[in-house]
Amino acid sequence: MITTLDAQPQEWMEGDENVFHTVAACHFQNIEHIEHWINKLIPRNQNGSFVKWAGGRRKGQTRDQFIDNCLKYSSEIDFQVNCVSTIEGKMSWFAWAFYMQNQRLVTQRLDAKNRNCLVFQISNEKDISFPVLRAGYLIWYHHVVRYLSEFQNIRGKLLSDNFACDEEGPGDGKAVGVSFVNFLLKQSGSDLQISLPKAGRYRECDRLSDYFCGWVNSVRSKTATESHARKLAELETHSKRFIENVVFAMDLNIVDEEGNDVTEAVKAAVASGSANG
């Protein structure tokens, strides 16, 4: 199995507790299976190139075309889609709960741009830091992948180019975001690891994830047209049940390293934007 992942908005939290973030995971048998459905569902521009959900001068038209293609071929679709959405208020809850449970390994400091950062101790010799809004996004993303693994039984290869702000080339900065997510997955006991698509053929694989996350996120955020929202609801109730669309949130009970229940303190910390409550 190959699972392609994409997200909207990408890479960072935006500092607004009401903003929805959506990950779309599309599951296929192999790369030929992916390419078959990309060619069947994804619109092309006048030059014959595939158009992304957010791209092109005629994005309203290409979005309509994709959505209508999904309905047209809905009885033939033989891949699965999981769309997982969370508002930033809940994403922060995941992040700060993680911080509170790991204070011996996670600290805070300001970076060169005077941004508050979370610093994670990877080993005795190495740590890695992210601005809080980036760290919160990556922690939440790893929880989404764990949901796919533990509740949807997803296995096999995961491909995502949803870490475009990762530095490229040699050195410690290379692929730092996806490496951190994979580190968290490994620490949680998950067998899943995310790979960045490198070969040209694999770089096209996330086209369907791009469209599904854009479509679902626009409906969740109430920026979609009435027609787009209605057609998504129609697909969700299709007899084949090939698309799942959930809001992901957890009410966690947080206990600190001394056994004290600090759940309310964490909630207060999230509300105030301070890790220390």
Residue 268: its H or E element: helix 263-272
DSSP secondary structure of 35-64: HHHHHHHS-B-TTS-B--TT-STTHHHHHH
- Decide: helix, strand or coil at residue 248: coil
* pLDDT confidence of residue 275: 47
Q: The pTM is what?
A: 0.85
Compute the distance between CA of residue 35 and CA of residue 52 in angstroms, rounded to an integer. Answer: 15
Residue of 143, 127, 101, 144 lying closest to 275 (CA atoms): 101
Q: What is the 3-state secondary structure (H, E, C) of 115-163?
A: CEEEEEECCCCCEEEEEHHHHHHHHHHHHHHHHHHHHHCCCCEEEECCC
Q: Which residue has the higher pLDDT, 193 or 261?
A: 193
Q: pLDDT tens for residues 187-232?
A: 888 889 998 887 778 888 899 999 999 999 999 999 999 999 999 9
Residue 262 has pLDDT above 80, yes or no: no
Q: pLDDT tens for residues 14-26?
A: 878 889 999 999 9
**pLDDT mean over 73-95:** 90
Compute the distance between CA of residue 9 and CA of residue 7 in angstroms, rounded to an integer. Answer: 6
* pLDDT confidence of residue 177: 82
Q: Which residue has the higher pLDDT, 82 or 269?
A: 82
Task: Return the structure tokens found at 26.
Answer: 């599309």
Cβ(224)–Cβ(64) below 8 Å: no
**pLDDT mean over 166-191:** 74
* pLDDT confidence of residue 238: 92
Task: Return the structure tokens found at 207.
Answer: 């086209």
Reported confidence tier of residue 170, pLDDT bands at 50, 70, 90: very low
* pLDDT confidence of residue 166: 57
